[in-house]
C-alpha cells in the first residue's frame, strides 16, 4: 500500500510523529491551519473540547437586520481588541522556521487572527480573511480596523473592554446591551461596513481559493493542523491533495473529516508537534 493511499496509523503518538517526519523529509509541504493552532495564544477553538455551542452571525442576517449588525459590531469590537493583543505561539514561530529552512512552502489558514503574519510567515493565504481589515459593502472602500475602532469608541464611549471577555475564533464576543449602540458607517459613501472576513453563508473569494489551491498543487505533502475540517473550503483542499496522490498528515486533538484521507493522524497539540518537526528536520 502506498503512502498516498495508506490508512491512518493507529500506532503510538511517538510512532505517528516518526512517520510524519519521514513523510516530510526531503519534500516540500503546504500547511493548512485552523483554530486549534491559535488556542495556545489564548484564542478559543470553535469545536474543540469544552468549546461552547454558538450560533455565529450569517451574512444574510448581517445585511438584513440592523439590530443584528449592532450586536455584531459591539461584540466584534470587544473581540477584536483581544485578538489584537494576542501573541504568536510556539506553533506559529515553528512554522516560520520551517518556511525559512524550506521544509514548508507556505501556510493556508482558516483563521482570521493574523497571527501567522505577525509571527513572520512570508507566504500566508487567509482563506477567510482577516479581522484587521474592514470593507464597505456598498462602494468597496477598505479601512484599517484600528481606525474604525477609534471611530466606534468615539460614538460609543460607553463601550468598555471587560476584564474578561468571552470571544470566539472569528473575533466575536457575547454582548447583550446594545440598544444605544451606533454602528459606524463608511466615511466615503455612508454604506454598510463589515470586517473583511468570510461570514457563514458567504463563499471564499475565488481568487483566494485559487491561490490556496496553487500552494497545495506546488507541494509534495499537505499538513492539516488544528482544524476539524468542518468548513467546506478546508475539505476541498484536502480532497485536491488526495486526488493528486499527495500524502496527507493531520494534526488535531479529536476527530476530523480528513482522518480517512490521512496517511498519518497525530492526536496531539499543534505547538509541540511543529516544534518537534523543527527539532527533527532543521539542521
Give the confidence band of 54 by pLDDT, cuts at 50, 70, 90: low
Distance of CA 66 to the CA centre of its chain: 27
Residues written for the chain: 283
Give the confidence band of 272 by pLDDT, cuts at 50, 70, 90: very high
- Give residue 168's pLDDT: 52
Percentage of residues of the chain with pLDDT beyond 70? 86
Residues 12-32: tens digit of each pLDDT: 888 999 999 999 999 999 999
Instruction: Name the active-site residue from 77, 92, 116, 128.
Output: 128
Residues 79-92: tens digit of each pLDDT: 888 888 999 999 99
Whether the per-residue pLDDT at 50 is higher than 50: the answer is no
DSSP H/E element including 225? strand 221-225
Residues 6+ apart with CB under 8 A from 2: 245
Distances in whole angstroms, Cα of residue 8 to Cα of each of 19, 47, 48: 11, 22, 21
- Give residue 175's pLDDT: 53
Percentage of residues of the chain with pLDDT beyond 90? 73
Please tell me the pTM assigned to this model. 0.87
Distances in whole angstroms, Cα of residue 198 to Cα of each of 8, 137, 207: 32, 13, 14
Task: Confirm if 171 and 195 have CB atoms less than 8 A apart.
Answer: yes
- Give residue 75's pLDDT: 85
Under DSSP, the state recorded for 45 is -
Establish whether 128 is a catalytic residue.
Answer: yes
Give the confidence band of 55 by pLDDT, cuts at 50, 70, 90: low
Give the confidence band of 172 by pLDDT, cuts at 50, 70, 90: low
Task: Confirm if 225 and 248 have CB atoms less than 8 A apart.
Answer: no
- Give residue 167's pLDDT: 52
The CA distance from 188 to 184, in Å, is 12
CATH, domain range 13-281: 3.40.50.1220
Cα angle, residue 169 at apex, residues 166 and 174 outer, rounded to 5°: 30
| Domain regions of the chain by residue span | 13-281
The CA distance from 228 to 104, in Å, is 21
Chain mean pLDDT for the chain: 88
The CA distance from 183 to 70, in Å, is 6
E strands, 74-218, are 104-109, 124-126, 129-136, 142-144, 193-197
Task: Confirm if 171 and 83 have CB atoms less than 8 A apart.
Answer: yes
Q: Any idea which of 55-64, 137-146, 164-173, 207-216 has the lowest mean pLDDT?
A: 164-173
Main-chain phi, psi angles of 110, to 5 degrees: -90, -5
Whether the per-residue pLDDT at 162 is higher than 60: the answer is no
Amino acid at each position: 500500500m502506498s503512502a498516498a493511499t495508506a490508512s491512518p496509523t493507529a500506532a503510538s503518538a511517538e510512532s505517528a510523529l516518526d512517520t510524519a517526519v519521514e513523510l516530510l523529509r526531503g519534500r516540500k509541504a503546504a500547511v493548512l491551519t485552523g483554530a486549534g493552532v491559535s488556542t495556545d495564544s489564548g484564542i478559543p477553538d470553535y469545536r474543540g473540547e469544552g468549546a461552547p455551542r454558538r450560533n455565529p452571525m450569517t451574512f444574510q442576517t448581517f445585511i438584513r437586520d440592523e439590530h443584528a449588525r449592532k450586536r455584531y459590531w459591539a461584540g466584534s469590537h470587544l473581540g477584536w481588541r483581544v485578538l489584537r493583543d494576542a501573541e504568536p505561539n510556539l506553533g506559529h514561530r515553528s512554522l516560520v522556521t520551517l518556511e525559512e529552512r524550506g521544509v514548508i512552502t507556505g501556510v493556508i489558514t482558516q483563521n482570521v487572527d493574523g497571527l501567522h503574519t505577525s509571527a513572520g510567515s512570508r507566504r500566508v493565504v487567509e482563506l477567510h480573511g482577516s479581522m484587521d481589515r474592514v470593507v464597505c459593502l456598498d462602494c468597496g472602500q477598505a479601512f484599517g480596523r484600528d481606525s474604525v475602532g477609534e471611530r466606534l469608541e468615539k460614538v460609543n464611549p460607553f463601550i468598555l473592554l471587560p476584564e474578561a471577555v468571552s470571544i470566539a475564533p472569528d473575533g466575536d464576543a457575547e454582548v447583550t446591551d446594545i440598544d444605544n449602540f451606533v454602528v459606524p458607517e463608511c466615511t466615503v459613501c455612508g454604506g454598510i461596513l463589515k470586517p473583511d472576513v468570510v461570514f457563514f453563508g458567504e463563499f471564499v473569494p475565488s481568487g483566494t481559493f485559487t491561490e490556496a489551491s496553487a500552494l497545495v498543487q506546488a507541494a509534495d505533502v499537505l499538513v492539516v493542523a488544528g482544524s476539524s475540517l468542518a468548513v467546506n473550503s478546508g475539505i476541498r483542499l484536502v480532497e485536491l491533495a488526495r486526488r493528486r496522490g499527495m500524502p496527507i498528515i493531520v494534526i488535531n486533538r479529536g476527530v476530523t473529516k480528513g482522518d480517512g484521507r490521512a496517511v498519518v493522524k497525530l492526536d496531539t497539540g499543534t505547538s509541540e508537534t511543529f516544534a518537534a518537526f523543527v527539532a527533527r528536520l532543521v539542521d
